[in-house]
Amino acid sequence: MPGLKRKVRHVAQIIDGKQVAAEVKRDVTERVQRLRERGIVPGLALVLVGDDPSSASYVRSKRRLATDLGLNAMVHELPVAIQELDLVQFIGRLNEDDSVDAVLVQLPLPSHLHADRVLAAISPEKDVDGLHPANLGRASQGKPPVWPCTAAGIVRLLDFANVPIAGQTAVVVGRSRLVGWPTAQLLLSRGATVVQCHRQTVNLSSYTRQADVLVVAAGVPHLIGREHVRPATVVIDVGMNRVDGRLLGDVDFEQVAPLVSAITPVPGGVGPMTVAMLVANAVSLCEQRRGKRG
Amino acid sequence: MPGLKRKVRHVAQIIDGKQVAAEVKRDVTERVQRLRERGIVPGLALVLVGDDPSSASYVRSKRRLATDLGLNAMVHELPVAIQELDLVQFIGRLNEDDSVDAVLVQLPLPSHLHADRVLAAISPEKDVDGLHPANLGRASQGKPPVWPCTAAGIVRLLDFANVPIAGQTAVVVGRSRLVGWPTAQLLLSRGATVVQCHRQTVNLSSYTRQADVLVVAAGVPHLIGREHVRPATVVIDVGMNRVDGRLLGDVDFEQVAPLVSAITPVPGGVGPMTVAMLVANAVSLCEQRRGKRG
């Protein structure tokens, strides 16, 4: 029709977390098979304190996937009113139990428990989330026993999508112990120049617009819009915000996707990777502790 | 004279490390005095392995200052061929010695010794350099028992010069365990947006020109020149490079000083701070371990 121009619409690559997670699961299944041939069944202990429904649901999905992939996964449900010393002693028994290769304490803990002290009670060699202070220290040197699950999942997504990291500008928004901080350290260890942004950052878009890789783990729905990106950017959205019954990312996907090189959706991006990497980490700890060969 | 215009030459603030170190020393002297009134003499154990002349000279200057400020500082000279297990056991005895509040193992160690394992043998509560993995982990959370000396010294210089940190852009060049990495973490914990650059960084000046605070700890003489800075930048030069018998910083002072807001000289900037902060850290560990009150 005259007067109507046809626009060639840019289409960003959608990085499919389910597809990459499936790849991780195949890989884990093979490694578990090799361990089983040596008579070893990797053991994952999941510690759930109290009865928060979403924590319980996370723990169930972790156990289900671990079991599906051939691990021996046990959920230990402890009463909400447990004393810290009793919890620490319980973890101590898991540390001593040779059939347990990996220990996860589901966060958040009830407020009377001191998360730092509880996490420090996990043996560093069984610390599947990588949150023991000694493992944080090793992460700061680029060599932890395992990288925290979400950070590991993010980099696996980037590798899958053939996104280069070394020498690139990686901007990480959020510095949580669980996600933002370890992701920054992992990207640094892979050779990126890393910009660590957080809630005190002034003029956020002036940093994010420089990103080759932009990881957003701020926990703020739709924090990142069109003004925060440029065409070369690869966007990894870690946000999982429930708003009015919908699951929203930290990135406004509809605004941002047409403007960038690649992006992860929510749901279906980072989410599926985190549980898969948790099970992969448990198998890695098993291999490390029991030796690659019998 | 006609035709000759008088130029108003910009003069950067020169941040005088000797002056700030003197302030730190006065503060330490008072704190030692308060401890002595309670019958406590802070003990600093300096472990020197082998006979590298510059290591020996550093250790001597640390002991001298600690002694001058009222600490009980002992140098333990161990043979270059010491076995790692013997060194670890030696450190273990210092850990158990109640009169020792702070242990420093002078780096670098002879190549047959594994620095990571040796540093991990120091009790975290006596780790005056902040290099134990658990303390690196705590630093990653912004709350180590003490910040590594040079990082602590840098921030003290910035505070002295009334340079704001929170919400500012801090660019750190170099990511060494001893300096670059902890400085980035300390600036992050003070609320800066931190850009971590290193040898894989491409187009370094594109980052450094954005700095409100630029910390250079790369160990490359005159890495930073006029093209790396802008008028608002405060430059902290950690470089101590011996070239043809001269001590050169990582920053070309003559080029850069006229172009920036403030700068530390080499020598006389960060250098004097490091030893002063070491002694301050030893006193902090003593106060923490023995309690602020008797």
Q: What is the pLDDT of residues A90-124, one digit of tens each?
A: 999 999 999 999 999 999 999 999 999 999 999 99
Q: Which of B57, B15, B68, B53 is nearest to B279 (CA)?
A: B68
Chain-chain contact of B200 with A137 (C-beta, under 8 angstroms) = no
CATH superfamily of A40-124: Leucine Dehydrogenase, chain A, domain 1 (3.40.50.10860)
Residues of B in Cβ contact (< 8 Å) with A200 = 166-167, 191-193
**pLDDT given for residue B7 in this prediction:** 55
Q: Which two three-digit tokens encode residue A44?
A: 């994952």
Q: How far apart are CA B168 and CA B48, in angstroms?
A: 39
* Cβ neighbour number for residue A111 with a 10 Å cutoff: 7
Q: In what order do the strands lie in the sheet with A13-14?
A: A13-14, A262-263, A234-237, A213-216, A169-173, A193-197, B193-197, B169-173, B213-216, B234-237, B262-263, B13-14
- Counting one residue from chain A and one from chain B, the pairs whose CB atoms sit within 8 A come to 92
Residue B179 forms contact with A (CB below 8 Å): no
Asked if domains B39-123 and B149-271 share a fold, the reply is yes
Q: Which of B267, B254, B219 is nearest to B239 (CA)?
A: B219
Residues of A in Cβ contact (< 8 Å) with B170 = none
In this prediction, the residues of chain B whose per-residue pLDDT falls under 70 are: 1-10, 292-294
**pLDDT given for residue A136 in this prediction:** 92
Gyration radius of chain B's alpha carbons:
20
Q: Which of B140, B143, B146 is nearest to B184 (CA)?
A: B140
**pLDDT given for residue A241 in this prediction:** 95
- How many Å lie between the alpha carbon of A186 and the closest alpha carbon of chain B? 13
Identify any residues that bridge with A197 across adjacent strands, giving them in sequence order: A173
Select the residue of B133, B194, B196 nearest A138 (Cβ to Cβ): B133
Give the three-class secondary structure for A203.
coil
Residue B162 forms contact with A (CB below 8 Å): no
Given a cut of 80, is residue A130 above it in pLDDT?
yes
Domain A149-271 CATH (choose: 3.40.50.720, 1.10.10.10, 3.30.750.24, 3.20.20.150): 3.40.50.720
Gyration radius of chain A's alpha carbons:
20
Q: How far apart are CA B96 and CA B101, in angstroms?
A: 10
Residue A292 binned pLDDT confidence (cut-offs 50, 70, 90):
low
Chain-chain contact of B202 with A193 (C-beta, under 8 angstroms) = yes
Residue A193 forms contact with B (CB below 8 Å): yes
Q: Which of A290, A268, A292 is nearest to A126 (CA)?
A: A290
Q: Give the ipTM.
A: 0.92
Residue A150 forms contact with B (CB below 8 Å): no
CB neighbours of A182 closer than 8 A, spacing ≥ 6?
Answer: A130, A136, A139, A147, A148, A150, A151
Q: According to the annotation, is A50 in a ligand binding site? A: no
Question: Is residue A251 within 8 Å of A222, Cβ to Cβ?
Answer: yes
**pLDDT given for residue B111 in this prediction:** 95
Q: Which two three-digit tokens encode residue B210?
A: 């954005």
Question: Mean pLDDT, to the nearest integer, of A54-65?
Answer: 96
**Phi then psi dihedrals of residue B137, to 5 deg:** -60, -45
Angle at A201 between CA A268 and CA A191, to 5 degrees: 65
The rounded Cα A254 to chain-centroid distance in angstroms is 24
Given a cut of 70, is residue A7 above it in pLDDT?
no
**pLDDT given for residue B11 in this prediction:** 79
Identify any residues that bridge with A237 across adjacent strands, giving them in sequence order: A216
Backbone torsion region of residue A222, taken as left when φ is above 0, otherwise alpha when ψ lies between -120 and 50, otherwise beta: left
Residue B209 forms contact with A (CB below 8 Å): no
Q: Which of A20-24, A185-189, A199-203, B10-14 has the lowest mean pLDDT?
A: B10-14
> Mind listing the pLDDT tens digit for each residue in A232-272?
999 999 999 999 999 999 999 999 999 999 999 999 999 99
Per domain, the residue ranges of chain B are 39-123, 149-271
Cα dist from A246 to A216, A237, A243, B249, whole Å: 19, 16, 5, 55
Residue A1 binned pLDDT confidence (cut-offs 50, 70, 90):
very low
Class of the domain covering B39-123 = alpha beta
**pLDDT given for residue B291 in this prediction:** 85
**pLDDT given for residue B1 in this prediction:** 47
Give the three-class secondary structure for A103.
strand
